[in-house]
Structure 1
């Protein structure tokens, strides 16, 4: 049995989405984004006290990028990975891990807007800088989706894959801090992939504890 330890609106969502797309049996243990992640029981699964954590046949994993690679290799029949020798292998690896480039800027903005409760602790400069870095990430995605001859439907020539899931989930989070206006192909791609049943199934449930209470967070001017 596969067990995913998950916090809604966090990086673990990309693994949850992938599991739905793979069509395999799994169960989810949902956690709150609080100090319970520092409990000894959870630290035995993820020693840094972060989600996701994955239990699979007695083994344990942490780090979502590693989970994406492992699950795609374990279930190659779903066609969401690109194995060594595949034409798209190099690009697949690049874009799966580019999701973390996006996510690190989201994490910095989450800290500034949500985790730092006192205004004196927040930095308008950091907020604006990190939001600008997210837009630079959007530029990279826009360039990938746009070609001189035609626009790509997905990040890889070979079609929808786990890198669309990984980057798509990162953009889902990034849109809390940087809008997609001005990036038309990225906007169409994002709309396309988030219509999928796997994405919809990975969204927070009505009873879930949420990290973000607003749809968008403006940069704070101090």
Structure 2
């Protein structure tokens, strides 16, 4: 049995989306985004006290990029990975892990807007820098999707893959802080991938606790 430890609207959503795409049997243990992730029991699953954590046949994993690679290798019949020797292997690896570049800027903004409760703790300078960095990430995706290659509807020439899931989920979070206005290819690609049933299944349920209570967070001006 595969068990995913998941916090809605967090990095673990990319693994949940992938699991739905793979159409395999799994179960989800939903956690709150709070200090319970620092409890000794959870730290045996994820030593940094973060999600996702994945239990699979007695083994444990605690890095989302590694989970994406492992699951694609374990279930290759769905064509969401790219094997060594495949023409898109290098690009697949780059984009799967680029999701974490986006996510680290989202994490910094989440801390500034949500985790720091006192106004004096917040920094408009940091917020502006991190939003600018997210826009740089959008520019990279826009450039990739704008490459004049036939059928470039996804990040890889060979079609939809787990790197669209990983980067798409990171953009799902990033849109809380940096809008996609001005990035038409990114907007079209994001709309395309989020039409998938597997994406809808990975969204928070009606009873889920949410990290983000607002659709968009403006830069705080002090």
**1:17 corresponds to:** 17
Alignment of 1:35-54 (within 5 A): 35-54=35-54
Deviation at 1:143, TM superposition (A): 0.2
- List 4+ stretches of structure 1 deviating above 3 A: 148-151
Contact 1:145 1:151 in 2 (8 A): no
- Cα deviation 1:106-161 (Å, max 9, x = unaligned): 00000000000000000000001100100000000000000236572000000000
Unaligned runs of 5+ in 2: none
Distance 1:88 1:149 in 2: 13
TM-score, normalised via structure 1 length = 0.99
Structure 2 vs 1, CA of residues 149 and 158 (structure 1 numbering), >3 Å: closer, same or farther?
closer
- Cα deviation 1:159-183 (Å, max 9, x = unaligned): 0000000000000000000000000
Unaligned runs of 5+ in 1: none
- Cα deviation 1:10-63 (Å, max 9, x = unaligned): 000000000000111000000000111011110010011000000000000001
Distance 1:148 1:205 in 2: 39
Distance 1:46 1:87 in 2: 34
**2:199 corresponds to:** 199
Contact 2:108 2:130 in 1 (8 A): yes
TM-score, normalised via structure 2 length = 0.99
Contact 1:151 1:185 in 2 (8 A): no
Root mean square deviation of aligned Cα: 0.8
Q: How many residues align?
A: 222
Contact 2:4 2:26 in 1 (8 A): yes
**1:111 corresponds to:** 111
**2:70 corresponds to:** 70
